[in-house]
Structure 1
Amino acid sequence: MAALQQHVAAVKRAYFSQDAHALLAAFRIDPGTFGAIQADLNRDPNRDLSAWVLGQIPVSASPTDSERFQSLVADFLAYVRDHAPLSYASAASQAPAMADWDRAYDAWALVYSRASAFFSLPDTVWFASSLRFFASSLVTLAMAVDHRTDAVQKRKTTDAAGRLSKAAGMAGNDRSQARGSETKRAAVLMLANLSFKAYFKLNNTRLCETVLGSVENALKLNRTFAANNGQNDESGEQCYSRADRVTYRYYLGRLRLFQHNIRAASTHLRWAFDNCTLRNLRNKRAILIPLVATYLILGRYPEPALLEASNLSQTYGALMFYLKNGQAAAAMDELDRHMDWLRFRGLYLILREKLQISLWRNLARRCLALSYGPAQASSAPPTLRVDMLLSAARLAWRDPSLQPSDIEAILASLIDQGFVKGYILHSKGVLVLQKGPHMGFPPIWTVFNP
């Protein structure tokens, strides 16, 4: 019983002193200690753990007058008694042959619910680091169990996402008039990020908006408190760690990209990339993948050295070259060549849709650059013959069936969307462009709404 008694004594000391680090260390036990505690618990498998824990950690001497913490400890010990360590859930690990991962997830979900219920009590902000452990373990376990037993419907991940979204709402709606770090709002980004992780795994980004509402509410309350107390916190994010902020901006950027809000997506992803430290190169690369996609759509092209350093030249290098030069068929072929890789990251369809606009715009601009010279009067607006663009388009798209009416329709669409500034003079078969430094082709990024 030594291991069990020592463990519960450590939990009790940390709880009574409200020592966040010590409590987290007590709950985050290594497989060896897990096995020793499990052996002690199984010497009396029928023991009423709730009553036993109440005897070890009496409510009368506790910092709170609730049994919620004791219920958490009892259910945590029940998990240790009946199931394998969390680290064994991965399909790559050597888990015990008889492990029932469905039951293990249900048991851990109960542990997480107890932790969330305890965190909802007043004056429990100090418990946030332990809540992070229980919440992150819930998502990891849910995904691992679904990978083992339910790869199609992903029921455990769905359950975990709902639980975390609810907790994020609770944290985001803490209206305590105090700094964010001194309220339950301190946990909202952590809970939101874990919710996003689950929802993105489920390909159900629609439900992310509910979580975003909780985060925005918390940030608004943080900004209000800062303004009322003469502090400068325009973003409302100062009380959160850089890691949580980078993760939040990464998911927010990807969400805005899926919603075709390209400018907002690029802003959030660029912030995440710039603020992710070089110690986390794997994460920087993960952020860079959708960031480059947004930049290509916006007509901003990354340096080849950056793509090379991030091992992304094979995917984006040739595509960027063809896009710049309006080589449409080659660009589409390049997208199709990497279709599986891009689809897995949710980028293929939006790139295929949005880059077609850029390809037509860039092709027209290249034709203008080749045809426009000093022979044209400087006071006259630049013009581009439609038949010249037609010939170039048939080559660029490898489509000899294109007709002048097709080109005029595409040019009308580009003008309507703002990618080209000018008008079609049908009587002469020319595109008349706006005078100025851009010669009727404003930078693509300026056309997208912020």
Structure 2
Amino acid sequence: MRLVSSLGLCVARPTDARPLVWPAASALIGFRAVRAAVRASRASGHAQPTLVKPKAKSQKGWKIEPTAARPTWKARQPEKSQMRAALPQRQAEATGLDHSVMAALQQHIAAVKRAYFSQDAHALLAAFRIDPGTFGAIQADLNRDPNRDLSAWILGQIPVSASPTDSERFQSLVADFLAYVRDHAPLSYASVASQAPAMADWDRAYDAWALVYSRASAFFSLPDTVWFVSSLRFFASSLVTLAMAVDQRTDAVQKRKTTDAAGRLSKAAGMAGNDRSQARGSETKRAAVLMLANLSFKAYFKLNNTRLCETVLGSVENALKLNRTFAANNGQNDESGEQCYSRADRVTYRYYLGRLRLFQHNIRADSTSSLLQASTHLRWAFDNCTLRNLRNKRAILIPLVATYLILGRYPEPALLEASNLSQVYGPLTFYLKSGQAAAAMDELDRHMDWLRFRGLYLILREKLQISLWRNLARRCLALSYGPAQAASGPPTLRVDKLLSAARLAWRDPSLQPSDIEAILASLIDQGFVKGYILHSKGVLVLQKGPHMGFPPIWTVFNP
């Protein structure tokens, strides 16, 4: 039976026994009616009709014939879900990996690959700096096949590009990084205070990470790898942190791992500092020299071996000189050569440089060196350290106050109170200003462990004795010098009066006049006292002027 519309369309009833429900009675008008019929058929769950062109020339128009019954959209969903689930399995068979359990690893490699080929420094750093949760997921994926050749697999995942400067060094870095993830605990567990896995072998962990750092350093030595500096910073800082943590766990005396890390970083700093490319410092490998130098200083200070810091300083000075030369040749003003470095790196560098000069007792800049005083470096670091890093500002202030005490510049009590240093430096400052020598030495001994840990005890005990004798003599002069003496001639101080005061201040009754004269002669020779000793009368004759023969101590260190 056929229903013929006014437009010549023939609608054929399906061959099965189920009735086909058509909308709008039996007269269907145009293609709009055909579409409505198809929709109604789908809604009823019946076989879907097909639009068929008539075969005979005498038969005009089109007709709709039913096709074989097909499942509805909802009925086909389980089949599509099964196809999607089977797709990873087919991919896994092609790559030789179990993709159902390799999601974290594949995502990580994909992120590394994208960052590498786009040279996205931030994305690459984020890919390498993984949190413990992601670390565990990747580790589980890798341990599904612990015997896999990671080097060959990585070359398949991240192929070497066609660039003439490209090589397999980056792929080797990624392979060794994944080998560390597979075999060792996360870096954050290296600290003694952390809850590390019971069976963690930290000696082997450091050796594995040292290999990772070596791969990173080798890749950085290639041309056009300045964009890799942020990732190199991560590998280098992790190397130092891991070395110190491992030594604290297993080798607190000889500190072999820290020594090894310091040597590796010093070598890398030399490579970065010797980049003579005629370009802005931030566009050359010199961009990494301060970062590598600071990490080297951190290791050397931990080893109490500041002598080796001079090699690193040579690399830094060479890089800064090249930066200054480039700036001058291009009409730029960069007197320090440090403008291309971040404030954080500059503050850290000045902090270590100031401490280094202080430990070397180089309070005064010598005539053959362009280095400024230790106090200048520490003060610059303190002034440029932001208030968001109060802990760092306090760390800088500790050696800065010690340097200022030697220079005769005494801190305000409010500053010491705000930085929680009044307990250490408050009484010491008071005794130093008043010349109470024995009390000052007792105060140093009371905080000896605290000061020795920071490398300040010996230099303070040595250098402050000069200030104590100078301040004691000046105070005796102030108490004994009157208006009549001021009008008569240059100020004078009797040696016997200073002797009495010295016996009380030093709590040493065995002191003799000859001892006092020898000490005064030493102070005059070093420039802390301006005058001469009149031995026949036992008198110290001082220079006339506003300072009365006692120039400010800091001027002696800055001739």
Fold shared per TM-score above 0.5 = yes
1:405-439 residue CA offsets vs partner (Å, 9 max, x unmatched): 00000000000000000000011110000111111
- Structure 1 residues 216-225 or 375-384, which shifts more? 375-384
Using a 3 Å threshold, how does the CA distance of structure 1 residues 89 and 406 change in structure 2: closer, same or farther?
Answer: same
Unaligned runs of at least 5 residues, structure 2:
1-101, 366-373
Q: How far apart are the structure 2 equivalents of 1:366 and 1:7?
A: 71
1:20-65 residue CA offsets vs partner (Å, 9 max, x unmatched): 0000000001111111111111111111111110111111456842
Q: How far apart are the structure 1 equivalents of 2:281 and 2:166?
A: 25
1:79-134 residue CA offsets vs partner (Å, 9 max, x unmatched): 00100000010111111111100000000000000000000000000000000000
The equivalent residue for 2:290 is: 189
Using a 3 Å threshold, how does the CA distance of structure 1 residues 154 and 74 change in structure 2: closer, same or farther?
Answer: same
Q: How far apart are the structure 2 equivalents of 1:254 and 1:269?
A: 8
Q: How far apart are the structure 1 equivalents of 2:443 and 2:132?
A: 47
DSSP 3-state at the match of 1:59: coil
Q: Which runs of 4+ in 1 moved over 6 A?
A: none
Larger Rg: 2
The structural deviation recorded for 1:378 is 2.2
Q: Is the 8 A contact 1:16 1:63 kept in 2?
A: no
The structural deviation recorded for 1:230 is 0.1
Q: How far apart are the structure 1 equivalents of 2:544 and 2:130?
A: 70
Using a 3 Å threshold, how does the CA distance of structure 1 residues 313 and 438 change in structure 2: closer, same or farther?
Answer: same
**One of 240, 247, 250 as aligned partner of 1:146:** 247
DSSP 3-state at the match of 1:398: coil
Q: Is the 8 A contact 1:173 1:185 kept in 2?
A: yes
Q: How far apart are the structure 2 equivalents of 1:435 and 1:33?
A: 75
- Structure 1 residues 53-62 or 231-240, which shifts more? 53-62
Q: How far apart are the structure 1 equivalents of 2:488 and 2:286?
A: 61
Using a 3 Å threshold, how does the CA distance of structure 1 residues 66 and 393 change in structure 2: closer, same or farther?
Answer: same
**One of 403, 414, 435 as aligned partner of 2:523:** 414
The structural deviation recorded for 1:375 is 1.4
1:214-233 residue CA offsets vs partner (Å, 9 max, x unmatched): 00000000000000000000
DSSP 3-state at the match of 1:365: helix
Q: How far apart are the structure 1 equivalents of 2:364 and 2:193?
A: 40
Q: Is the 8 A contact 1:10 1:26 kept in 2?
A: yes
The 5 A counterparts of 1:364-383 are 364-378=473-487, 380-383=489-492
The equivalent residue for 2:318 is: 217
- How big is the alpha-carbon RMSD for the aligned residues of Structure 1 and Structure 2? 1.0
The structural deviation recorded for 1:263 is 4.3
Q: Is the 8 A contact 1:178 1:225 kept in 2?
A: yes
DSSP 3-state at the match of 1:375: helix
The structural deviation recorded for 1:2 is 1.3
1:5-32 residue CA offsets vs partner (Å, 9 max, x unmatched): 1111110100000000000000001111
Q: Is the 8 A contact 1:324 1:362 kept in 2?
A: yes
Unaligned runs of at least 5 residues, structure 1:
none
Q: How far apart are the structure 1 equivalents of 2:364 and 2:236?
A: 32
- Structure 1 residues 264-273 or 206-215, which shifts more? 264-273
How many positions carry a matched residue from both structures?
Answer: 450
Q: How far apart are the structure 1 equivalents of 2:513 and 2:161?
A: 86
Q: Is the 8 A contact 1:421 1:433 kept in 2?
A: yes
Q: Is the 8 A contact 1:249 1:269 kept in 2?
A: yes
The equivalent residue for 1:440 is: 549
Using a 3 Å threshold, how does the CA distance of structure 1 residues 16 and 376 change in structure 2: closer, same or farther?
Answer: same
DSSP 3-state at the match of 1:262: coil
Q: Could you say which structure has the greater relative contact order, defined with CA pairs below 8 angstroms and 6 or more residues apart? A: 1
Pick the structure with more helix per residue. 1
Q: Is the 8 A contact 1:16 1:62 kept in 2?
A: no
Q: How far apart are the structure 2 equivalents of 1:116 and 1:258?
A: 31
Q: How far apart are the structure 1 equivalents of 2:186 and 2:164?
A: 30
Q: How far apart are the structure 2 equivalents of 1:76 and 1:336?
A: 48
Q: How far apart are the structure 2 equivalents of 1:257 and 1:216?
A: 19
Q: How far apart are the structure 1 equivalents of 2:207 and 2:305?
A: 22
**One of 141, 154, 165 as aligned partner of 2:266:** 165
